[in-house]
A and B are shown apart, each in its own frame.
Chain A
Amino acid sequence: MPVESTTPARPDAPRLVRAPDPGEEPASGELFEVCDLSVYYGSFRAVRDVNLRIPERCITAFIGPSGCGKTTILRCFNRMNDLVETARVEGRILYHGVDLYDPAVNPVEVRRRIGMVFQKPNPFPKSIYDNVAYGPKVAGLKGDMDEMVERSLRRAALWEEVKDRLKASAMGLSGGQQQRLCIARALAVDPEVVLMDEPCSALDPIATGRIEDLMEEIKTSYTIIIVTHNMQQAARVSDQCAFFTTEVNETSDTRTGILVEFDGTEKMFSTPSDERTENYVTGRFG
């Protein structure tokens, strides 16, 4: 059953500046501001000196060769790196002007606002219903849970396929369905941001297409940051694009990720200002 895309045609220019929504504080259009971010695993510096401004309600893609720290950076946005004991973060990530790494910030609250979809579909080994309902339950959200589950599954374009077997185990779904379930699960807590770490790398092209359509649809309500190895995917779905690469350290033989260029996707893929970006997007390297 193909998903009919109701998304309006994408504007030609990347939407770096957006009109603020009525009732909200006059936003600069920037949701995140990353300042001099470096991430260490033990004494190894995985990424250094990243500076980025990520606007709201559009899709930002992180691209670059393996080991350049895309995923590491992504996992800083919802403090997922806290779970890696040796990981240490320097610099700041401002979210609505609040530093996510301020000691007073509760990482659990961060993750309720900034959801995540992982590389490998990882539904809980429970029923489809319970997978979606779990987030709202732990967040203490009140209201009609059945309706909330249906709404989330509809937004993830999975409802029609699973509405008759909500009590069945999520492990019986196909890979693509599982990943859409994970997206539904992330959307169920009504986050402002959805982080996606190579969400299609374990899926076939048809399932990938459905998830890309889905991203186009939900970006009107959510800010999406996606890490992808697939440059066509980045070109298809993203509004702006950050290219990372690695540099070899002179003293040790380790590699550290750096941000090379960050710009509108069209520009990144047509007339990038850095030669390394051009080499990468034209397939001459990586």
Chain B
Amino acid sequence: MAAVAPHPRTAELVRARLEQGKLDVAGTLFRWLLVGTLALSVGVLAVLLIDVVTGGWGVLSSRLVDFLTSADRTSAEEAGVFQGLRGTFWIGVFTVVLAFPVGIGAAIYLEEYAPRSRFTRIIDINIRNLAGVPSVVYGILGLAIFVKTLASLPDWLGGGPLTGGRTVMSGGIIIAILVLPIVIITSAEAIRAVPDSIREAGFGVGATRWEVVRSHVLPYALPGILTGTVLALARALGEAAPLILVGAVQGRLGGGPGSLVDLGQLQERFTAMPIMITNWSGEFAEGFQDELAPAAIVVLLVFVFLANGTAILLRNRYAKRR
């Protein structure tokens, strides 16, 4: 078949047609609008970071180790964040030990075992609502239950101290409960995203439900579950309001310097990084508001990044194994 040269007039017409509408005004505008929203978000974050880092730089560069290991003192030259770090560390431990297993377990039950009934739907909706309850409300719950009611064991169990009242144990438990709904929701979503074909494959070769969940559903969902728990942990470490209600105190009163992992302190008065930051920000003495508070913020941020980084490393390891 011989190639037929197009009529010159045809080519001209086609060219005119094909070249029209090249300038897409609405599309270009929309694109730059999106760029603007991104720039705004990143910009605000950058300003915040630059502000706290420059504010705290003096303290962090001149006496970092001292700042991390010293107790809170009345003199701005000597004050450190040790008690706050310790409190926040333990709150993180309570979250990991209590909220993660309980939350992931509840999510597995809801997604893999529970029948899709009206009852489970109501539970599901309620968990979602719980995630939106203001944290102060959890503080009141913690005050009533863990500080007052469960301060000591009932007489018929010997009557020894349990949470000990306004202690890091009460605070840790209430923060764990606070983030529990977030852990459940994100884990449930990760489990729901596991394709049914994988479950069918497992059942098809004669695996029990538990075997399918353990060997196929959980490994597949694990990266997603870890992402959710990272968010929950970050939220847990940054919460201040419920801790104020369960009686977190100023650093100066929050126990002795002591060691980080001494279990006896679980039943003592405590403070946490967000509380110290709040207190220092309201302190009028020289150096607290404009140097120590930003330095403490940087320390808390690094702490949260470290916790998140660990979870992300874990997630990538599991995601690769898929």
User: Bound complex: CA of A273 vs CA of B187, how far in Å?
Assistant: 56
- Chain B residues with CB under 8 Å of A171's CB are 322
Given contacts A85-B116, A125-B322, contact A118 B200 (CB under 8 A): yes
Given contacts A85-B115, A125-B322, A134-B215, contact A120 B204 (CB under 8 A): no
B window 192-239: CB within 8 A of A = 195, 197-208, 211, 215-216, 219-220
User: Bound complex: CA of A189 vs CA of B204, how far in Å?
Assistant: 11
Q: Which of A109-117, A223-231, A275-283 contacts B (4 or more CB under 8 A)?
A: A109-117
Closest chain B CB from A198 CB (angstroms): 13
Q: Is the contact region of chain B dominated by helix, strand, or loop, or is it mixed?
A: helix
User: Bound complex: CA of A108 vs CA of B206, how far in Å?
Assistant: 5
A window 107-148: CB within 8 A of B = 108-109, 111-112, 115-116, 118, 120, 122-125, 134-135, 138-139
User: Bound complex: CA of A83 vs CA of B113, how far in Å?
Assistant: 11
User: Bound complex: CA of A182 vs CA of B216, how far in Å?
Assistant: 15
User: Bound complex: CA of A138 vs CA of B212, how far in Å?
Assistant: 10
Closest chain A CB from B6 CB (angstroms): 38
Tell me whether A158 is interfacial, beta carbon within 8 Å: no
- Chain A residues with CB under 8 Å of B195's CB are 122
Cβ contact of B204, chosen from A78, A85, A109, A139, cutoff 8 A: A78
- Chain B residues with CB under 8 Å of A138's CB are 205-208, 211, 215
- Chain B residues with CB under 8 Å of A111's CB are 203-206
- Chain B residues with CB under 8 Å of A188's CB are 205
Residues A124 and B200 in contact, CB atoms below 8 Å apart = no
Residues B208 and A124 in contact, CB atoms below 8 Å apart = no
Tell me whether A193 is interfacial, beta carbon within 8 Å: no
- Chain B residues with CB under 8 Å of A139's CB are 205-206
Residues B200 and A122 in contact, CB atoms below 8 Å apart = yes
The residue of chain B having its C-beta at the shortest distance from the C-beta of A116 within the complex is B204
- Chain B residues with CB under 8 Å of A125's CB are 198, 219-220, 322
Residues A108 and B204 in contact, CB atoms below 8 Å apart = no
Size range of the chain A interface in the assembly: 20 to 34
Residues A80 and B205 in contact, CB atoms below 8 Å apart = no
The residue of chain A having its C-beta at the shortest distance from the C-beta of B212 within the complex is A138
Cβ contact of B205, chosen from A85, A120, A135, A169, cutoff 8 A: A135
Residues A182 and B203 in contact, CB atoms below 8 Å apart = no
Residues B206 and A124 in contact, CB atoms below 8 Å apart = no
Size range of the chain B interface in the assembly: 20 to 34
- Chain A residues with CB under 8 Å of B219's CB are 125
The residue of chain A having its C-beta at the shortest distance from the C-beta of B215 within the complex is A134
- Chain A residues with CB under 8 Å of B215's CB are 134, 138
Residues A124 and B198 in contact, CB atoms below 8 Å apart = yes
- Chain B residues with CB under 8 Å of A78's CB are 204
B window 266-314: CB within 8 A of A = none
The residue of chain B having its C-beta at the shortest distance from the C-beta of A83 within the complex is B203
The CB with the most chain B CB atoms within 10 A, among A125, A169, A188, is that of A125
Tell me whether A70 is interfacial, beta carbon within 8 Å: no
Closest chain A CB from B290 CB (angstroms): 53
Tell me whether A186 is interfacial, beta carbon within 8 Å: yes
Cβ contact of A109, chosen from B197, B206, B220, cutoff 8 A: B206
Tell me whether A180 is interfacial, beta carbon within 8 Å: no
The residue of chain A having its C-beta at the shortest distance from the C-beta of B199 within the complex is A83
Closest chain A CB from B198 CB (angstroms): 6
- Per CB-CB distance, the 10 closest pairs between chain A and chain B, nearest first, are A112-B206, A135-B205, A122-B197, A116-B204, A111-B206, A125-B322, A122-B201, A138-B207, A138-B211, A108-B208
- Interface residues of chain A, those whose CB is within 8 Å of chain B, are 78, 80, 83, 85, 108-109, 111-112, 115-116, 118, 120, 122-125, 134-135, 138-139, 169, 171, 182, 185-186, 188-189
Sample of 8 further A-B pairs with CB below 8 A, known A116-B204, A171-B322, A182-B201: A108-B208, A115-B205, A122-B200, A125-B198, A134-B215, A138-B205, A138-B215, A186-B204
